[in-house]
Amino acid sequence: MTMPPHARIVADVKQRVADGRLRPGERVPSTRQLARDWNVALATAAKALTLLAREGVVVAEPRVGTIVADRPGAAAARPPRPATSEHDLTRRRVVRAAIEIADAHGLSELTMRAVAGRLGVATMSLYRHVGGKDDLVMLMVDAAFAEFPLPGERPEEWPAGWRSRLEASARIQWAAYRAHPWMAGATPLTRPVPSEALLAHSEFVMEVLQETGLDATTRMYVLILLHSYVQGIATHIELEQQARASTGMTDEEWMTGQEEFLRAIMSSNPAFGRLLGELGDFDLDLDRLFEFGLRPLLDGLARLIEPAAR
């Protein structure tokens, strides 16, 4: 029986890893290169890389590409986690297992059945500890943010001044979203999550804003604006992970395939075309974007806050 094209690519890469032609840490051919080498569609090459990643043969490294895993196949060969007895099951263990699933696969893959499977228990046993998926997600957000505590255990140890405190809160939230990208889509502004860890950030900011002379509505807007700035950029961390999983391409590899589209843009949109021509090899790095915007945001808030504080 003839192997489908993507399966032949998978088998070839595995063979090259097995005989040492591709070593751990070395970059494997990109989606575009595989498509050229095997004379297949990009989608076929992407499917092959996705299967190799699922089997633990390769891993995607940001701004590097797809490389051979340190221990190829280790993820697929890893023995299942020992089952958790019903007696040892706790809310904390349920939440931790759920966070591990969301970190690895995104919030869309989180189900009560998946959590139960990870713990080796019956799905119904989870409902003795959490009310359901919505309740579980709220607990996950609280536990994940709690991993990134505010500076100082007591309010008197917190940094003085509105600017220092807002900047500290933004940076801590960014670190939390970086570690757990799924959280950016789990905390809508219009439906706040009842999280003690998030409320601690609100208290952290509100205590110092109360001394600025701003009215209550403006103080609330400042708090929301700060949170939404961090969250807004952070949403793209998980979106990029989802795009990479579905296409098998890094952002750089995907952009390489858009050359014809970019040429069309440059010809029909002169101003934007000139910008693209001047940019050269522009790298849309989310960490740099966060840093670029944070200072102007705080500068703008200073024009609002400092006159009111006089």
Query: At 14, which CATH number?
Result: 1.10.10.10
Predicted pLDDT of residue 74: 47
In a domain, residue 263? The reply is: no
**Buried/exposed 84-120: b ≥16 CB within 10 Å, e otherwise:** beeeebeeebbbebbbebbbeebbeebebebbbebbe
Residues 113 and 32 in one domain: no
Residues 295 and 184 in one domain: yes
- Pull the structure tokens for residue 242: 């989802």
d(CA 72, CA 23): 9
Predicted pLDDT of residue 138: 92
Label residue 19 by pLDDT band (50, 70, 90): confident
Instruction: Say if residue 78's pLDDT is above 50.
Output: no
Label residue 86 by pLDDT band (50, 70, 90): low
Residues 239 and 111 in one domain: no
In a domain, residue 102? The reply is: yes
The CA-atom distances, in angstroms, between 298 and each of 30, 221, 227 are: 41, 14, 13
Identify the domain containing residue 103 by its residue range.
91-146
Residues 159 and 60 in one domain: no
The CA-atom distances, in angstroms, between 24 and each of 15, 21, 135, 175, 230 are: 13, 10, 41, 29, 35
Query: What does pLDDT average to over the chain?
Result: 82
Residues 176 and 284 in one domain: yes
Predicted pLDDT of residue 215: 92
Residues 41 and 14 in one domain: yes
Label residue 298 by pLDDT band (50, 70, 90): very high
Helix, strand or coil, per DSSP, at residue 126: helix
Instruction: Say if residue 156's pLDDT is above 60.
Output: yes
Residues 301 and 161 in one domain: yes
Label residue 158 by pLDDT band (50, 70, 90): confident
Label residue 310 by pLDDT band (50, 70, 90): low
In a domain, residue 254? The reply is: no
In a domain, residue 171? The reply is: yes
- Do the Cβ atoms of 176 and 148 come closer than 8 Å? yes
In a domain, residue 205? The reply is: yes
- Do the Cβ atoms of 252 and 284 come closer than 8 Å? no
Label residue 255 by pLDDT band (50, 70, 90): low
Instruction: Say if residue 193's pLDDT is above 90.
Output: no
- Pull the structure tokens for residue 262: 């970019």
> Total domain count for the chain?
3
Residues 126 and 73 in one domain: no
Residues 30 and 111 in one domain: no
Residues 166 and 49 in one domain: no
Q: How many helices (H) and strands (E) does the chain have?
A: 14, 2
Label residue 177 by pLDDT band (50, 70, 90): very high
Instruction: Say if residue 76's pLDDT is above 50.
Output: no
For CA atoms 215, 293, 164, 236, give the dihedral sign: positive
